[in-house]
């Protein structure tokens, strides 16, 4: 690993800083979500999503969105937001025009938007970031 690039802990700190800046009404619902940072997406996730290149996935929400939760749901585990360090760093290098903290914050907000019940189409309608 390049000594100058942030490690997993640094990416997680950037993500937690971004979560701490969520508007007050969203913070309580974000507290029960586990944030995991890994270098690359696990093979089973790539396979489930039909993604061939692991650098194509910067983050992922796994869980039942709040808008779909029911008191009758039997959770298989906690809702989880994944961040993938290598894909984030690859996108950051490719963009070359923004601080890494900004990109990490954007990925974490995008994934938490799924937790709050927004689809990719909903997010794209108000946020043209990925174009």
- Residues 26-66 pLDDT 10s: 889 898 899 999 999 999 999 999 999 999 999 999 988 88
Say how many Å lie between the first and final Cα of the chain, rounded.
30
- pTM, entire model: 0.87
Three-state secondary structure string covering 55-106: HHCCEEEECCCCCCCCCCCCCCCCCEEEEEHHHHHHHHHHHCCCCHHHHHHH
CA distances from 78 to 15, 31, 67, 71, 114 (A): 18, 11, 16, 14, 14
- Residues 74-111 pLDDT 10s: 667 789 999 999 999 999 999 988 999 999 999 999 89
Domains of the chain: 8-65+78-126 (3.30.2010.20)
- Residues 21-32 pLDDT 10s: 998 988 898 988
């Amino acid at each position: 690993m390049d000594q100058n690039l942030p490690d997993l802990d640094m990416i997680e700190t950037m993500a937690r800083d971004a979560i701490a800046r969520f508007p007050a009404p969203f913070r309580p619902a974000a507290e029960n979500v586990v944030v995991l940072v890994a270098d690359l997406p696990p093979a089973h996730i790539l396979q489930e999503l039909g993604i061939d290149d692991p650098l194509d996935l910067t983050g992922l929400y796994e869980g039942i969105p709040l808008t779909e939760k029911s008191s009758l749901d039997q959770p298989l585990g906690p809702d989880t937001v994944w961040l993938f360090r290598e894909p984030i760093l690859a996108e950051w290098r490719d963009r070359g025009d923004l601080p890494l903290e900004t990109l990490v914050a954007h990925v974490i907000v995008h994934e938490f938007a799924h937790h709050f019940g927004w689809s990719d189409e909903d997010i794209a309608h108000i946020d043209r970031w990925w174009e």
